[in-house]
Amino acid sequence: MSETEVITGEAPIRYAQALLELAEGAKSLNSVEKDVKSLKAILGNSDVLSAVINSPVFATEDKVNALTAIAKKAKLKPLTVQFIGTVAENRRADQLPSILAAFEDMVARRRGSEVAKVTSAKKLTAAQVTSIKTNLKKSLGRPVQVETSVDPDLLGGFVVRVGSRLYDSSLKTKLEDLRLTLKEA
């Protein structure tokens, strides 16, 4: 895959757990969950913002100001804005994508479902996403939330990641397997 996979370490899980507990304590889990989805979209669509939070050149204070200003402009709830500011103040702005992903996984598990990340060679139709959801639900035995992304390098097919499990039916991988098989012969 051309995109860098988010690897969740111990600190992002602790921060995600803290956000989950804060949201539940404030009885605003649903609104914080929406905020997290919005923030993930903002981070995913802005190469400039990603560069700022990942760069050691920018001061912590600048990262705090940038992230909180964007969160306020996006009309995120005060709890979410404060959390983002705290993450940045603690010099963890670069781990924000991992924290958000861990939070979504925790919320999904609490609701008895899983989060599946589906990467395809081209944009999937609504019918294809529904079919994938249905098949994953049968396979896993519980509801599945599907996040989709596009990676043209796959050439065809798709890759599904559910937790630590990976299902790869991409044309790129099949061609690579064939190349290795022919090389051995």
Domain boundaries, the chain: 10-108, 113-184
Looking at residue 75, the DSSP 8-state letter turns out to be T
pLDDT 10s digit of each residue in the chain, 185 long? Answer: 333 344 456 888 899 999 999 999 999 999 999 999 999 889 888 888 888 888 888 999 999 999 999 999 999 999 999 999 999 999 999 999 989 988 988 888 888 778 888 998 888 899 998 998 898 888 888 888 888 888 888 888 889 888 778 888 888 888 888 888 888 87
Contacts of 21 (CB under 8 A, 6+ apart): none
On whether the CB atoms of residues 84 and 71 are closer than 8 A, the answer is: yes
pTM of the model: 0.68
Rounded CA separation 149/73 (Å): 25
Range 10-108 has CATH code 1.10.520.20? yes
Cα 96-76-28 angle, rounded to 5 deg: 95
Q: What is residue 70's DSSP assignment?
A: H
d(CA 22, CA 28) in angstroms, rounded, equals: 9
Q: State how beta strands 144-150 and 114-120 pair.
A: parallel
Q: 26: which DSSP letter?
A: T
Give CA angle at 23 (13, 46), nearest 5°: 65
* Cβ(177)–Cβ(169) below 8 Å: no
Q: How many CA atoms lie within 13 A of 143 on its CB side?
A: 9
